Amino acid sequence: MNVLFVGPYRQPDMWGSLSRSMISSLLSIKEIELTTRPIFLATSSLPTPNLDPNIFKCESNKKESYDVLIQHTLPHFMVGSEIFDLNIGVTSFETKGNVEWDNHLKILDKILVSTQAEKKCVSKHLRDRVRVIGGAIPEVDNSIDPLPNRFCFYCFGGNIETKGGLLPLLQAYLSEFHVNENISLVIHTNNAPEAQTLINDTVSTLGIYGQRYYPHIHLVTDNPDDSVHKQCQCLVDTSITRGFKEEVARALSYGNTPIILEGTGMDEYVNDSNGWVVKSNESLLVCPDRPIPNAFTARESCLIADKLHLRKCLRNAFDNRLLQKQKSSKGKECSASFSVDRQRDLIKEALCL
């Protein structure tokens, strides 16, 4: 079977990472002859990631005809063509209710997503075309067991976009803990000035103490060799969007007991045995810094954290170290859930191979 894969696998971001992992899964299917072609959904100042040499080899492939077209992109960029026996779209549905994408999705024979939560975001009349293929990440070395001076929560704040959900985490963390407690919140961000502004505004809004009495927060702007994962104990992801989150999967593999929101798709691999699941509510999406046009509008819905329950989960993780250690061990056992082999089998099933 000749397969043409078009996707943003040269991008140094989440889309690029998901695209590369899917190519790895496709390459492991012996029935497939794969050709790849890159597209770019965004510009970035970050360096282009090192690509598997096999991807370069696939880029040099050229067949007279292809049986299957697989497009990893946003729905409004997808096309359908009769020259392929099968037109497949791979995408991420971060919100629910974007019916404008239906006209693009209905031209596809199949739609591949990473989580059941994303499948539920697709309109009901198209849902029978959707297949869930999970997510894959490179294997991590979780044998290192650092002993930091502080218990460290951590999160990935990106550019401090609204959809990242940093504000409710700051409100919960700063209102629950005190400077005298041996604790820190490490925020990995590409925009430290904006993050600091948000922290200062949150402190001012809460009005509990003077500035110096709030718990410690540390901003970092790089993560060489997964240093943030290796030096912290508990990842917190309160993003309002659904989908597979690579950093949450990596945290599980490192034993870093994630705290995540129910209904986001992350709760399909994070549960009470290996982390904490915070209650959430479906809410009107209000996102002034929309990442793409014609999406993330108020016609869509998102998931927001129950901040009281989030605060309770943070406290539980900090106070109950024995429970946190037990959950950590269970998390490390989840590594097989994110293997290329598992995703390969799900893709083969979707392709009826």
CATH number for the domain whose boundaries are 2-138+338-350: 3.40.50
Q: Is the pLDDT of residue 346 over 60?
A: yes
344, 25 contact by CB (below 8 A): yes
Provide the strand spans (E) within 8-161.
33-38, 68-72, 86-90, 110-113, 130-132, 151-158
Tens of pLDDT, residue by residue over 85-102, are 999 999 999 999 999 899
Using CB atoms within 10 A of its CB, is residue 349 exposed (0-12), middle (13-18) or buried (19+)?
A: exposed
**Same topology between domain 2-138+338-350 and domain 151-337:** yes
The reported pTM is: 0.93
Q: What is the CA angle 277-291-137, rounded to 5? A: 50
Question: Average pLDDT in the 294-301 region?
Answer: 92
- Spatial distance between the Cα atoms of 88 and 4, rounded to a whole number of angstroms: 10
Q: Is the pLDDT of residue 45 over 60?
A: no
* Residue 163 CB partners (closer than 8 Å, separation 6+): 94, 239, 240, 241, 287, 291, 296, 302
Tens of pLDDT, residue by residue over 212-238, are 899 999 999 988 889 999 999 999 999
**Range of weakest confidence among 9-13, 84-88, 120-124, 257-261:** 9-13
Share of the chain above pLDDT 70, in %: 97
- Spatial distance between the Cα atoms of 327 and 150, rounded to a whole number of angstroms: 19
Dump the DSSP string for 208-270.
SS-GGGSPEEEEE---GGGHHHHH-SEEB---S--S--HHHHHHHHHT---EEETTSSGGGT-
DSSP H helical ranges for the chain: 14-27, 53-59, 102-105, 116-119, 166-176, 192-206, 227-231, 246-254, 307-319, 321-332, 340-350
Q: How many CB atoms lie within 10 A of CB 78?
A: 22
* Structural tokens at position 295: 């999406």
Question: What are the structural domain ranges in the chain?
Answer: 2-138+338-350, 151-337
119, 265 contact by CB (below 8 A): no
pLDDT-based confidence at residue 144 (cuts at 50, 70, 90) = low
Tens of pLDDT, residue by residue over 302-317, are 999 999 999 999 999 9
Q: Is the pLDDT of residue 146 over 70?
A: no
Q: Is the pLDDT of residue 55 over 60?
A: yes
- Spatial distance between the Cα atoms of 284 and 304, rounded to a whole number of angstroms: 9
Q: Please report how many Cα atoms fall inside a 13 Å half-sphere around the Cα of residue 128, on the Cβ side.
A: 1
Q: Is the pLDDT of residue 106 over 90?
A: yes
- Spatial distance between the Cα atoms of 293 and 296, rounded to a whole number of angstroms: 8
- DSSP assignment, residue 179? T
Instruction: Evaluate whether the domain defined by 151-337 bears CATH number 3.40.50.2000.
Output: yes
pLDDT-based confidence at residue 184 (cuts at 50, 70, 90) = very high
Single-letter amino acid code for the residue at 22 = M
pLDDT reported for residue 46: 61
* Structural tokens at position 101: 């994408």
pLDDT-based confidence at residue 142 (cuts at 50, 70, 90) = confident
